[in-house]
Amino acid sequence: MGHRFSKRKLEGTENLSPGRFSVSEEAPPHYSSYSNGSETAVSMETPTRRPSEVVNSRQDNRRPSIYSTMDAMPHLEFYANATATGRIRRCRPSLETNMGDSGRGSVSALQESEIESEENGPGGKTAQPVRFGWITGVMIRCMLNIWGVILFLRLSWITSQAGILLTWLIILMSVLVTSITALSVSAISTNGRVSSGGAYFMISRTLGPELGGPIGVVFSFANALACALNTVGFAETVRDLLIEYDSQIVDSINDVRIIGSITVTVLLLISLAGMEWESKTQILFFLVLMVSFVNYFVGTLIPATPQKQSIGVFGYHSEIFLENLFPDWRGADGDFFRMFAIFFPSAIGILAGANISGDLKEPEIAIPRGTLMAIFWTTVSYLAISSTVGACVLRDASGSMNDSLPLNFSEPCEGLSCGLGWNFTECQQSGTCAFGLSNNFQVLIQVSGFGPLIYAGIFAATLSSALAFLVSAPKVFQCLCKDNIYPFIGFFAKGYGKNNEPLRAYLLCYIIAMCFILIAELNVIAPLISNFFLCSYALINFSCFHASITNSPGWRPSFRYFSPWTGLFGAVISVVLMFLLTWWAALIAFGLIIFLFGYVVYKKPEVNWGSSVQASTYNMALSYSVSLAGVEDHVKNYRPQCLVLTGPPTLRPALVDFVGSFTKNVSLMICGDILMSVSQRNSNDMIKWLNQRKVRSFYTSFKASDLREGARHLLQASGLGKLKPNILVMGFKLNWHESSSKGIEDYINTIYDAFDSNHGVCVLRMMDGLDIRDELETEGMLCSSVCLANDQIKTVFQSKQGKKTIDVYWISDDGGLTLLVPYLLTRRKRWRRSKVRVFIIGEQQTMENDRKDMRRFEETLAPFRLNEGQLDERTVQQQRTEFTWKVTDKEMDALRPKVWQTHLLIIDKRVCVCFRSLPVAQADCPSSLYMSWLDTLSYGIHCPVLLIRGNQQNVMTFYCQ
């Protein structure tokens, strides 16, 4: 059966009214949907029939076909994020639609219109953004970023310091870190479509906002620093050219600042022109670099002229290669890890393609393929250049033609240069050599066949890298701003044009880069960048590792050439290298991340990205729950786990707050909602309300015909393993006088059912009642569930109780629950200063008050009395049968002493809450009599009263047992 969706109205459907089907038995119908203004219609195509086949068409149309279904074929857009904006998104029909319950043939069943695109061109056509493939969008971009300022201006110097062997080790160590990170990036990027935001998007959607937010800030800042680094490298080269031609502007430092400021401004203008111009510029830079590389390698093969030999360039010599094979540390920077710190920024460009993931045609294909290819070819080039320059150039040379040796010389000469016909001994001993690998940063220019082409390569490498970082930083920062994790940065989230360019973020990145350009020291900026990027790599690798070990069904990358353990290794080695390179910069980076992490944890932004942290939480909860199920119960580990019959928690906040006061961080609390008049309630709104109120509770609803049925099923089904309720908490039924006998029976039988299932029972009564529905209706606030979820009404249990008292009337020994709950209350901050008073027996001065309360008890119960003395025996028997809830004289006489015994009461104004033992009546006690008993025990008390009863099993111990 083929399903076809189209945005245009199909031919031949003009006579079909929207939402109606034309059905035939000859062939299965085809569904199509079309849009007409703000409505969408659904129609069905059937094959054209011959006239002879139309005879019984009316009868056929009356007969339903098994093919008359709203089922849609699988489509990728059905799985898109529902919050995506700027396009029309398809959605599959709901179960209700398929079952024919509602919306039969309705328009909205097949298409959901999200926010319409604002970028509409002439004629109503949507302006299409520019999209790049894996070569131009990722590989070339990454290669240009990796071939940066370090390649041309520092690689030869690093080779002179560390030697060829250690230089290769530095290169391979950097490549190891970046390759492992690239594998992790490839795995994450193939786990689903990657939106804009690059590394930040990947980390945040994998590890959640707590770690994604900090790394978004750090990574954006690191990209801005990298832009400054490459701009300074370009400015240094231009300055050296000016010095060579005696054309300085001010001095060597200020010239770098001036040239760098002008350069980054020009790059900003290119970026503001749009991604299309930026991409064309990058391709031009790439071609220039290719020519400069060819020029360099050709230059190594050309025999060296005397002029080149005077500056230490001799072409390929095995003696020079062996001499430069081992390190020769010099100066303050003469250290392996210092060299690594300076070189590592040359490898940080691996995320250039991922950073513009929103501008790629197929990110899940382009990012792995382009990134790994870029790493391979750039690694080959770095190894080749370091080894060839180490085989062709001496470490020290004077640059003077007078230092050439005649055929028969008698002057003292030391070093390798003597065998090559040159005497550089004097400048080596005095440390005045101006040329050679150790003394000059322009060695690649001197080696090449045509020097200006190397200058062009330097300009292309530095400018292309600076431009790429200048584009990457705003893209990442824009994505962070859109997520609204941190305050005051939403201003930079706005995008412009068909590619949604972050122009405001461009200006911010420009300002940051300009500030670091003013430092004008390449070797100072490079170590800072290394730490920030290593920190990013550590989190990328850790996110891949963490997502893998959680075994979440949502983690299913199509890229298979990775291992969670390589990700963990990459994360650990990145952190270790951070402290080995520049420990103080590492502390700054971690301090910043910890601060930003703490802010996100404290604010708890309302985002849900299905992170691996959530998956890990589920794994731990499941593992601990299963382990707990095998642990035998012990009285010392007893916890009051409460099922609270709150109904909608938003309507009984006092009941929620009170129970939450002694269960928070201690035990389980479940808010039970028995649905008798509504089919369903929005549980997300209820949970949101609980979270905003800082109540740690679950919410569960159950549809039932009455209170007793719903409570009984909730008692049996709520919880998991040992995490099951052992106490039922209810509100007192204030309107029991006006309620029907069935309502009273359900309420009292709910208490009996709890006792029968071996649960404790708590009944909370407040003088003004628990339900705030009338209050909300009076204030005009009872608008919807969303309105209630956002509204927070303060209750007495949210106030500090000060030095008030908690009175406990422990009349019946229930196992200790009556004492345990008040104790748990005093552990909360609001109740910490309250004093617990425990009453066991009555006092003489209360007897008169007790008599008054007993008279009121009998007056309250009068409408429910059978009054046997006023009726004949036959009528009495008949009423006993029909009205089982009525109280007989015998039952009244039997219960009166017990009511008197439990009516112990000493209440003063200092009491903040009163606990009273909940009496247990015999099974044949009428519900009205028991209800009146409970009313008498809690009537007229100004403070909240909790009638509480355990299940007669010990819940605390006075012995070390």
Q: Using an 8 Å Cβ cutoff, are 940 and 765 in contact? A: no
CB atoms within 10 A of CB 755: 17
Q: How far apart are CA 917 and CA 933, in angstroms?
A: 12
Residue 251's pLDDT is 84
In 3D space, the residue among 498, 542, 158, 549 whose CA is nearest the CA of residue 359 turns out to be: 498
Which residue, 185, 175, 259, 251, is CA-closest to 219? 185
Query: Are the C-beta atoms of 405 and 421 separated by less than 8 Å?
Result: yes
Q: What is the length of the chain?
A: 961
Report how far residue 187's alpha carbon sits from residue 540's, in angstroms, rounded to the nearest whole number. 10
pLDDT of residue 25: 36
**Residues 800, 801, 806, CA angle at the centre, nearest 5°?**
150
Can 141-394+435-603 and 635-949 be said to share one CATH topology? no
Please give the Cα distance from 862 to 853 (Å, whole number). Answer: 14
User: What is the distance between the alpha carbons of residues 165 and 674, in angstroms, rounded to a whole number?
Assistant: 75
Q: Which residues sit opposite 727 in a β-bridge?
A: 642, 760
Measured in Å, how far apart are the chain's first and last C-alpha atoms? 71
User: 3-class SS at 687?
Assistant: helix
110 Cβ contact partners less than 8 Å away, ≥ 6 residues apart: 5, 31, 33, 40, 42, 70, 72, 90, 91, 92, 93
Predicted local distance difference test score (pLDDT) of residue 728: 95
Say what the pLDDT of residue 116 is.
Answer: 41
Regions of the chain with pLDDT less than 70:
1-71, 76, 80-90, 95-96, 98-130, 193-196, 274-275, 358, 407-411, 774, 776-791, 841-907, 960-961
Closest CA to 138 of 344, 472, 290, 363: 363
CA-based angle 274:275:277, to the nearest 5? 75
- CA–CA distance from 106 to each of 19, 29, 103, 192 (Å)? 6, 17, 5, 31
Residue 81, pLDDT score: 62
Cβ count near 726 (within 10 Å): 24
Query: What are 699's two structure tokens?
Result: 């919410």
Element (H, E) at 218: helix 209-244
Pairing state between β 88-90 and 642-645: unpaired
Domain 141-394+435-603 indexed as CATH 1.20.1740.10: yes
Burial 608-638 (b: 16+ CB within 10 A, else e): ebebbbbbbeeeeeeeeeeeeeeeeeeeeeb
Coil/strand/helix, residue 675: strand
Give the integer Cα–Cα distance in Å for 547 and 564: 8
| Contact assessment for residue 208 and residue 544, using Cβ atoms and an 8 Å cutoff | no
Over residues 747-803, the pLDDT tens digits come to: 999 999 999 999 999 999 998 888 887 676 655 554 444 445 456 788 888 888 888
Residue 514: its H or E element: helix 503-517
> What type of residue sits at position 132?
F
**CA–CA gap between residue 279 and residue 538 (Å, rounded):** 29
- Rounded CA separation 522/884 (Å): 94
| Domain 635-949 falls under CATH 1.10.3470 | no
What is d(CA 409, CA 403) in angstroms, rounded to the nearest whole number?
Answer: 12
**How many contiguous H segments (helices) and E segments (strands) does the chain have?**
34, 13
pLDDT of 9 reads 37
- Residue 751's SS3 state is helix
| H or E stretch at 645 | strand 642-645
**Pairing mode of beta strands 945-949, 88-90:** unpaired
pLDDT at 168: 94
Please list, in sequence order, all residues whose beta carbon lies within 8 angstroms of the beta carbon of residue 728, skipping any fewer than 6 positions away. Answer: 642, 643, 645, 711, 715, 750, 751, 754, 759, 760, 761, 762
Element (H, E) at 503: helix 503-517
- Rounded to 5 degrees, what are φ and ψ at 190? -100, 10
* Cα(327)–Cα(334) distance, integer angstroms: 9
Report which DSSP code applies to 871: S
* Three-state secondary structure call for residue 554: coil
Instruction: Please report, for the chain, the start and end positions of each structural domain, with discontinuous segments joined by +.
Output: 141-394+435-603, 398-427, 635-949
Query: In terms of Cα–Cα distance, which of 888, 900, 882 is closest to 936?
Result: 900
Predicted pLDDT at 880:
61
Closest CA to 794 of 778, 822, 775: 775
Check residue 86 and give its pLDDT: 46
Nearest-angstrom CA–CA distance, 855 and 851: 6
**CA–CA dist 821, 937 (Å, integer):** 19
Spatial separation of the C-alpha atoms in residues 559 and 562, rounded to whole Å = 7
Q: Using CA of residue 360, residue 366, residue 371, residue 376, what is the dihedral sign?
A: negative
Instruction: Count other C-beta atoms under 10 Å from residue 587's C-beta.
Output: 13
Pick the closest to residue 354 from 573, 559, 589, 607 (CA basis): 559
d(C-alpha 143, C-alpha 481), whole Å? 28
- Separation between Cα atoms, residue 636 and residue 639, nearest integer Å: 9
H, E, C per residue of 86-148: CCEEECCCCHHHHHCCCCCCCHHHCEEECCCCCCECHHHCECCCCCECHHHHHHHHHHHHHCC
Cα separation, 590 vs 576, in Å, equals 13
Report the 10 Å Cβ neighbour count for 423. Answer: 22
727 Cβ partners below 8 Å, 6+ apart? Answer: 640, 641, 642, 643, 759, 760, 761, 762, 817
Which pLDDT belongs to residue 420? 82
